[in-house]
Amino acid sequence: MDTIERIKEQLAEHPILLYMKGSPKLPSCGFSAQAAQAMMACGEPFAYVDILQNPDIRAELPKFANWPTFPQLWVEGELIGGCDIILEMYQKGELQPLIKETAEKHKTEEEKGAE
């Protein structure tokens, strides 16, 4: 499977996906740390891909996304933006409902029954 196919598969599998340097608990750059903190503050689970562990994705995603920097937040297969946009949306109160609604929409029947 080539890198672009892997990226498309990741985006299809994970409705909320953050491409970042490091992990949410151990970010490897300040921008990724801030983006992950804003995401965690939304209170919903989200997937992430550590681009430092995936140099092929690190090389190909900026071309695929037409977005040169990391982190990158993708919701339902659409690029939302990088650190500045994530933080701005969070501060304006726009990120939280987007993440919450997306998480709700994609919960399994099992998870819905557990609430």
Domain boundaries, the chain: 3-113
CA–CA distance, 1 with 33 (Å, rounded to integer): 30
Does domain 3-113 correspond to CATH entry 3.90.110.10? no
Smallest CA-to-CA distance from 14 within 38, 39, 47, 62 is with: 47
Q: Which residues pair with 81 in a beta bridge?
A: 73
Average pLDDT over residues 76-101: 98
Is the confidence at residue 20, as pLDDT, over 60? Answer: yes
- Does the annotation place 42 within a ligand binding site? no
- Does the annotation place 31 within a ligand binding site? no
- Does the annotation place 21 within a ligand binding site? yes
The pair of three-digit structure tokens given for residue 8, joined into one six-digit string: 């498309």
| pTM exceeding 0.85 | yes
- Does the annotation place 92 within a ligand binding site? no
Q: Could you tell me if 16 and 47 are in contact, meaning their C-beta atoms sit under 8 angstroms apart?
A: yes
pLDDT computed for residue 115 by the predictor: 54
